[in-house]
Structure 1
Amino acid sequence: MTAYTVLTWAAGGYWMIAVVLLVVSVAATIAQPWLAARRATRRDQPPVSVVLPVKMLDDQFDRTQESALMQQYRDFDVTVASTDVDGPAVRRMRAILARYPAVPSRILLSTAKFAVSPKVDNLYAPFMQATHDVILMKDANVLLEPDALAQHVRQLTDEVGLVCAIPYCARLENFAAHVEAAIINGPHARILFLASALGQGHGIGKIMLFRRSDFLRAGGFDAISHTVGEDNALAKAMRRVGKRPVFSHRPVRQELGARAFDDVYQRQLRWMVIRRNDEIISFLAEPICQAVPAVIASALAAPLVGIAPIAAASATLMLWFALETLLSVAKGWQLSWAAPAVFVVREATMLAVWLNAWVTDQVVWARDSVNARAGAKPSPVPHEEG
């Protein structure tokens, strides 16, 4: 058997696996809400402390942050945490909180400086000072539906330690935003929905719902301070103490607005470097979720079935685009008339990010440059209330 024959058969096997994964993950994305809802068996509503880490004054800031105070939930309070309690974002938060006097709320100054991730530093004060044992952390660009808290709490059963929600992108206002949405709503969402349909969960930090008692038993901040992927580290820590991470049956809406392409690239690079450091198998398998390697494989394997390589490559590309487009329609996700161009740019971006992640540890978080391998200090410094 010649080397060319081996390559041809290997390409055919790769193409088969990639296409089957594509089809199965599309089906799982449609089925996951129903499957996950069947596991959401909790019926009581424990009191919850909602934590809102604040850094920048992003577009739609009022709308997304106000959604946390509009929850149709029996007993919850809201804590805002920031490293600058006099900055524009916190001033805006004060005005938002004032519009909801019935919701107990406060603003904490975060002075901790011990973690690799600035976000973890910012979370130390509110996590440790939270009024209630159950904590929900929400990112600034996440828009919660009024019943979101109640729905996510249904997943926090006795054996569950962490509830996260799979994000989808909405309010796409320029081409770069559509590219980022095509990445998040496409390969990333499909694999996460597939994992959830199979009963698996992982850490996705757009929202995180957990018990502080479980968090401390799992190692607390010492378990998450060593990485910029604190969400994934928290999921791993919960598993070590016998508590499962799960994905909610309710996805979470991430507001994108207008994006700069460099910001899109840097954000994807940060997540890819996190996977390289913390989930090496997932990182190595990343290309199988992308269309370009499958297109190349189809061209190499085409002679096995008597098809011209260009025809096989074109058919694979069209199949991939068609299935993901139909999935977006089925889920009600925003599409653009420029979707074919978005798809092509997305594929080029994902491949470039994956290759770049092999050779860098420097990532960008909230416009700050962070070394993903920098060591964390052993313990946090005291914090104070602002």
Structure 2
Amino acid sequence: MIDQFALPLVIFCAVFWASSVGLLILSVFAAIIHPRVVVRRGTRKDQPPVSIVLPVKTLDRGFARAQESALAQLYPQFEAIASAAEAASPAVSTMREIFARHPQIETRILHSTARFAASPKVDNLFRPFNDAANDVILMKDSNIVLEPDDLAETMRHLKDGIGMVCGIPYASAPTNFAAHVEAAIMNGPHQRMLFAASAAGHGFGVGKIMLFRRSDFLRAGGFAAIAHTVGEDNATAKALSRIGLKTVFSHRLVRQELGLRTFRDLYERQLRWSVVRRDDEILSFLAEPFCQALPSFAASLVVAPLAGLSPLCGLSVTFGLWLTLEMLLSIVKGWPLSWYAPAVFLTREATMLAVWLHAWTATRVVWAQATIDTRAAAGDTVAPAPLPVAKEEG
């Protein structure tokens, strides 16, 4: 018999465990069927000219490979614009070298001097977004490696009624334990939730790549609509939604090669994203424990006796289910999987729970080695009017 005072706790744990395990199974299934379901929605046939915008900050490992992949697109007509807050830097010099290797493509490097937004990235995007020769813009982060047909495949989804198309990122090529943990985070619960949302026809602003029309962006409020937050991708999706345009995910994933990682960088990056969700998507933030294994493990200890199992047996079954399904998904998708996957899994879960708890009170986040105070957001700041832009031919 269950003590009457313990009954509410047992009921809560039972509902939590069932919900958490249900989301795990549903999201793994959604991740598997996602490409087949979503590819059918990409029905656009024409390929309008595109301006590819490449914001530049630090020269990280794999920078040249990732940025050059944008110039290798099998697409009829596009230009490439790199922008940086620094007039000269190792990253800018590398971009100049990359552009020089592609004289057949119209390229230029812009020095971004705008300083009006909460996010330095938004400041850096102001000039290239205004200076782009084409209405359709593809923004790509410097750590994303594109396949030659990614632009063409993503364009299939930019149809009437669609304001922005994003790509769900996945991690590849981790080379140390911390990188494997970050790969497990990227390819784990949050990504599976994106797969589930996408399979159901929904999308969110995920800024690894964003394909949109500048005319729609300006009609939705332009930079004034996204200057207040460090989560400019989600803010853009929300602004477009307010004028009746959906954000969707492409059927094509985008690859981020990790290489070496440190736990400090990993933690700071995850904390930044968690704080963005706290500030901009509070319901998603509050629901995160349902997508994490450790809370599910704790609930299994309480619920197991209801099924005639010992708490330790219930914990073992829940642990085995989570680990097995995630490993099977990684095998099906061809994602990184090491012989020490159980240790990576447990480290990931401990990290994600610690980040979520920290995010409740965090007010400072790190972006590109710069510390940003989220309380100093430029909520009422209006973006400056477009100015003449000095162009530097690549």
Task: Report how far residue 384 of structure 1 moved.
Answer: 3.5
SS in 2 for 1:271: helix
Note the alpha carbon deviations across 1:245-272, whole angstroms, 9 max, x for none. 0000000001111011100000000000
The match for 2:384 is: 380
Counterpart of 1:79, as a letter, is: I
**Cα 1:332/1:383, change in 2 over 3 Å:** farther
Q: Name the amino acid aligned to 2:57.
A: K
How far off its partner does 1:125 sit? 0.2
> Does residue 356 of structure 1 match 2:358?
yes
Normalised by the length of structure 2, the TM-score is: 0.97
TM-score, normalised by the number of residues in structure 1: 0.98
Cα deviation 1:292-334 (Å, max 9, x = unaligned) = 0111111111121111001101110111011001000000101
Task: Measure, in 2, the Cα distance between the counterparts of 1:37 and 1:270.
Answer: 31
**For residue 171 of structure 1, what is the aligned residue in structure 2?**
173
Q: 2:216 and 2:383 mapped to 1: Cα distance?
A: 19
Distance 1:383 1:371, change over 3 A: farther
Unaligned runs of 5+ in 2: none
Question: Percentage identity across aligned positions?
Answer: 58
Q: Could you tell me how far apart the structure 2 residues matched to 1:321 and 1:133 are? A: 45
* Match for residue 139 of structure 2 among 134, 137, 140: 137
Which position in structure 2 is the counterpart of 1:211?
213
Q: Determine the structure 2 residue equivalent to 1:92.
A: 94
Letter in 1 for 2:355: V
Question: Which residue does 1:19 correspond to in 2?
Answer: 21
What is aligned with 1:343? 345
Cα offset, 1:14, TM superposition: 1.0
**1:37 corresponds to 2:39:** yes
SS in 2 for 1:270: helix
Contact 1:110–1:383 under 8 Å retained in 2? no
Deviation at 1:360, TM superposition (A): 1.1
CA distance in 1 between partners of 2:47 and 2:87 (Å)? 31
| Separation of aligned partners in 1, 2:87 and 2:48 | 30
Q: Once the two structures are superposed, what CA deviation does each residue of 1:161-198 show, in whole Å capped at 9, x if it has no partner?
A: 01000000011011111111101101111000000000
Give the distance between the partners of 1:368 and 1:136, measured in 2 at CA: 25
Contact 1:227 1:373 in 2 (8 A): no
Contact 2:54 2:82 in 1 (8 A): yes
Aligned partners of 1:278 and 1:18: how far apart in 2?
23
User: Contact 1:201–1:245 (CA<8 Å) still a contact in 2?
Assistant: yes
Could you tell me how far 1:383 is from its partner in structure 2? 6.5
2:118 alignment counterpart: 116
| Residue aligning to 1:58 | 60
Give the Cα separation in 1 of the matches to 2:276 and 2:130. 25
Amino acid at match of 1:207: I
User: SS of 2:53's equivalent?
Assistant: strand
**Contact 1:85-1:107 at 8 Å conserved across structures:** no
289, 295, 298: which one pairs with 1:296?
298
Q: CA deviation at 1:375?
A: 2.7
Answer yes or no: is the 8 Å Cα contact 2:139–2:209 preserved in 1.
yes
Distance apart, 1:10 and its partner CA: 1.7
3-state secondary structure, aligned to 2:375: coil
Q: Which residue of 1 aligns with 2:273?
A: 271
Question: What is aligned with 1:244?
Answer: 246
Residue aligned with 2:337, SS: coil
Deviation by residue 1:204-259 (Cα, 9 ceiling, x = unmatched): 00000000000000000011110000000000001000100000000000111101
For residues 2 and 220 of structure 1, the distance between their equivalents in structure 2, rounded to whole angstroms, comes to 57
1:379 partner SS: coil
Secondary structure of the structure 2 residue equivalent to 1:228: coil
SS of residue paired to 1:39: coil
Matched residues in 1 for 2:272 and 2:384: separation? 24
CA distance 1:371–1:264, shift in 2 (3 Å): same
How far apart, CA to CA, are the structure 1 residues paired with 2:65 and 2:251?
Answer: 23
Quote how far apart the aligned CAs of 1:16 are: 0.7
Consecutive aligned runs of 4 or more in structure 1 exceeding 6 Å deviation: none
- Secondary structure of residue in 2 paired with 1:96: helix
Give, in whole Å, the separation in 1 of the partners of 2:388 and 2:57. Answer: 17
Q: CA shift at 1:336, angstroms?
A: 1.0
Equivalent pair of 2:131/2:389 in contact (CA under 8 Å):
no
Q: Please report how far the alpha carbon of residue 115 of structure 1 lies from its aligned counterpart in structure 2 after TM superposition.
A: 0.2
* Equivalent in the alignment of 1:331: 333
Q: Is the 8 A contact 1:274 1:372 kept in 2?
A: no
Partner Cα distance (1:105, 1:220) in 2: 24
Amino acid at match of 2:374: A
Q: Secondary structure at the match of 2:118?
A: coil
Question: What is the identity, as a one-letter code, of the residue corresponding to 1:243?
Answer: L
Checking the alignment, whether the CA contact within 8 Å between 2:277 and 2:285 is kept in structure 1 is yes
1:3: Cα distance to partner?
2.2
Q: Which residue of the partner structure matches residue 289 of structure 2? A: 287
Query: 1 CA distance for matches of 2:225 and 2:38?
Result: 27
Quote the Cα distance in structure 2 between the aligned partners of 1:345 and 1:275.
Answer: 22
**Which residue matches 2:201?**
199
Question: For the residues of structure 2 that align with 1:294 and 1:258, how far apart are their CA atoms?
Answer: 30
Structure 2: how far apart are the matches of 1:287 and 1:12? 14
| Aligned mates of 1:313, 1:170 — CA distance in 2 | 30
Are the counterparts in 2 of residues 32 and 193 from structure 1 also a CA contact under 8 Å?
yes
- The aligned length equals 386
